[in-house]
Structure 1
């Protein structure tokens, strides 16, 4: 949605929450349902110290059968690592889209999974099972691709 005209002729420039994509190590992931608790900037200010915090966020996705799907490989590696301090890490990219055009990009470096949970299994339901991954990370960079395009006109 490029923007929306309101009844009093104001123009609203905003992203739709349902237009996004996720890449894992550069490969577009399918079956992504939600991204929640994403904090791209949090400054912890104390009298003697100021530091950036990187709180974890969650990705909700469909449980997929393909063992070679990028998230399934990562989940298997994570579970296989057990309590080892060396976690299997990936680079994730979250793309915000507007009518198929990328408007913002968050690249998450050193991402690792600390928790894997599932929605309710219910024999009386036909709903699909959702897998939720709690993601921690080392750093995040935010880019505005449309700003580059406008600057290069």
Structure 2
């Protein structure tokens, strides 16, 4: 199997996922950043990745901003507008996805490490957007939902564990 054939089969498998399994796979992939962050924290116990620290603003603010406002605004700007605009100018889906991921990372400038972690999350969200868009689904809804669930799990961690 050539790399191109392999790439096409991955794309076909991703497109074959129904919306809920796609969301589940994407949500799991967004948490792949936990592994490098944990490894760095093992080496340097004083390491702080950074982040919005919404937990300091209270539970209501953390849930409102983190689970509702940020996913809607960031999906609108870093996936919907970015990907649609680049595709309209003839960019391939992959290029648009990487540009979207870079923009998503840049929007999270708490630290360089955090920006890189969020660029990965942005790439996953961009992939959800493109997959759902190419099959004529509801890309904004699915992407914002995965983003909201990702942030919601983080909020639950800060509410009940941290």
TM-score (norm 1): 0.25
Larger relative CO (CA 8 A, sep 6+): 1 or 2? Answer: 2
Tell me which protein shows more helix as a share of its residues: 2
Tell me which protein shows more strand as a share of its residues: 1
Q: Whose Rg is larger?
A: 1
